[in-house]
Amino acid sequence: MLMSIPFSGTIANCLSIILGGACGLLLGNRMSERLQEALMRISGVTVIFLGIFGACEKALVLQDGTLSSQGGLMCILSLAIGTLIGELLNIEGLFEKFGSWLRKKSGSQDDNRFLDAFLTASLTVCIGAMAIIGSLRDGIYHDPSVLYAKAVIDFPIIAVVAASLGKGALFSAVPVGILQGGMTACAVLIAPFLSEVSLNNISLVGNILIACVGINLLFGQKIRVANCLPGLLLAWLCAYLGI
């Protein structure tokens, strides 16, 4: 029955984020500041390796018993040029303004970690091939199974971020709902422009950005990850330029 509900994959994903965040808050409220700090650090390590594993899946190829890599030049060009564009547009500033608006509307003005939690959680669960492929399959074939799987994966991630950084993590459900719901609604229009190569490129670059989110969690903000997001579009373009 649920499979036939429009946007059921995105709805399930948003609910899993909210529930995961709520569970994380319950856990975090029972922990000392020292334990919350330790949890945030180990979350950073976990997210870094989550990104590395995803990137390796797309970058490493086994042919005739020899392991080789692919997509190196594409990643360099996509991330370098994409970051330049993102810095000029100040995309992270737009994310922060949206996060500040959510903080105000939710009555969380006194929560100094709200923006960090919102940005970290949003960038972790919004970037990646599962969001794109799952949304397209939900829109074209009415098959939300990929987004259901993503919902299961996102639950513990958001729980950990919420436990260490606070309730801003719950509000990552908003950009997930907007982005995945939008792609599902426009799936028939988007699908012809996405090939297997372009999806692999997007996944590779996206997983590198997820690793960057983990670096920020572990060492403090070193990389303005939101300003790197145009690299995903350039990764798609590289597939058609043969790079």
Q: Which of 90, 224, 99, 94 is closest to 169 using CA atoms? A: 99
Domain residue limits at 11? 2-241
Query: Is the separation of the CB atoms in 120 and 217 below 8 Å?
Result: yes
List average pLDDT for each run of 10 residues in the chain, which is 243 residues long.
70 95 88 80 85 88 82 95 96 92 90 91 84 86 88 90 91 94 88 87 90 87 89 93 87
pLDDT score, position 243: 84
CA angle 187/193/195 to nearest 5° reads: 105
Cβ-count burial 11-31 (b if 16+ within 10 Å, e if not): bbbbebbbbbbbbbbebbeee
pLDDT score, position 3: 53
Number of structural domains in the chain: 1
Report the C-alpha gap between 159 and 31 in whole angstroms.
14
CA angle 182/188/192 to nearest 5° reads: 115
pLDDT score, position 4: 56
DSSP states of 186-212 as a string?
THHHHGGG--HHHHHHHHHHHHHHHHH
DSSP states of 18-54 as a string?
HHHHHHHHHHHTTS-HHHHHHHHHHHHHHHHHHHHHH
pLDDT score, position 1: 46
pLDDT score, position 29: 78
Tokens of 7: 């946007």
Q: Which residues pair with 123 in a beta bridge?
A: none
Report the C-alpha gap between 23 and 242 in whole angstroms.
45
Query: Is the separation of the CB atoms in 69 and 221 below 8 Å?
Result: no
